[in-house]
Amino acid sequence: MATCLLVAGGFAQTQVIAHRGYHAKEGSVRNSLSALKNAQDLGVFGSECDVNETADGYLVVVHGPNHGTYDIQSTDFLTLRKQMLENGEVLPLLEEYLDMVARKPQVKLIIEIKSHDTADREDRVVKKTLSAVKKRKLEKSVEYIAFHSHVCDELVKEAPKGTKIAYLNGDYSPAYCKSLGYTGIDYQYGVMQKNPQWIGEAKRLGLTVNVWTVNDEEGLKWCIEQGVDYITTDIPHVAKKMLK
Ligand code: MG
């Protein structure tokens, strides 16, 4: 049974982000359109997804580096698309994902822009992603995360003012992230446990704090007690119940 925790007044409550969507629901798989729809229906703060560019320039939602036996970033879209996801769904385009976001824009899409082999390619992926979001006027429904600081730097340069951009790699202090123009830290659970002082430091600097990927009740409880802003989890239904 999930533990219920009361959160003291004056603090914004911890919010739940479904890691690669709410894929734990029966019939779904990670990064599928159904996983995003499930997260929307569950009513969490946001749903995370991973974006890669195919060899012929399409942006696809998939973790990678492989899809089936194909290396995503060096394979063309149609070849990848013929390879179904494990549950029979098609490999989604970012465009299709954003159309699903438009269906319920109050649930944020947290786009992780994956690392690519050159800075030029990463710049292009950032520009294409921002333009697909802009085309649908979904700027307020989308936040960005990346492991490569180059991707975050490019987002800081190119995204509209006020866009949320958080760094994933866990090796920069909150103060350094702030100096680079990032709006949050989004660090692995183990990193955050080793550096719990970063939570308070980030908050004092006005940065958001997100922790990934917290998949057990003990970890969820720790994050809630620390007052982090977001928990990224594969069990969003459990986290949501604990926060009720
Ligand atoms: Mg991811």
Q: Buried b / exposed e across 211-243, counting CB within 10 Å, b at 16+?
A: bbbbbebebbebbbeebbbbbbbbbbbbbbbbb
Interval between CA 50 and ligand 1 midpoint (Å): 5
Interval between CA 1 and ligand 1 midpoint (Å): 28
What's the confidence (pLDDT) of residue 12? Answer: 72
What's the confidence (pLDDT) of residue 8? Answer: 44
Tokens of 196: 């719990």
pTM: 0.95
> Which CATH number does 25-211 carry?
3.20.20.190
Interval between CA 236 and ligand 1 midpoint (Å): 15
Q: Compute the distance between CA of residue 153 and CA of residue 173 in angstroms, rounded to an integer.
A: 16
Q: By C-alpha distance, which of 23, 28, 19 is closest to 47?
A: 19
Interval between CA 107 and ligand 1 midpoint (Å): 17
Between the alpha carbon of residue 37 and those of residues 53, 82, 102, 188, 212, the distances in Å are: 23, 22, 11, 25, 21
Interval between CA 69 and ligand 1 midpoint (Å): 20
Interval between CA 111 and ligand 1 midpoint (Å): 8
**What is the DSSP track for the chain?**
-PPP----TTSPPPEEEETTSSTTSTT--TT-HHHHHHHHHHT-SEEEEEEEE-TTS-EEE---SEETTEEGGGS-HHHHHHS--TTSPPPPBHHHHHHHHHHSTTSEEEEEE---SSHHHHHHHHHHHHHHHHHTT-GGGEEEEESSHHHHHHHHHHSPTT--EEE-SS-S-HHHHHHTT--EEEEEHHHHHH-THHHHHHHHTT-EEEEE---SHHHHHHHHHHT-SEEEES-HHHHHHHH-
Interval between CA 9 and ligand 1 midpoint (Å): 32
What's the confidence (pLDDT) of residue 11? Answer: 56
Interval between CA 55 and ligand 1 midpoint (Å): 20
231 strand-pairing partners = 16, 211
Domain positions in the chain = 25-211
Averaged over successive runs of 10 residues, the pLDDT of the chain (244 residues) comes to 47 90 98 98 98 98 98 98 98 98 98 98 98 98 98 98 98 98 98 97 98 98 97 98 93
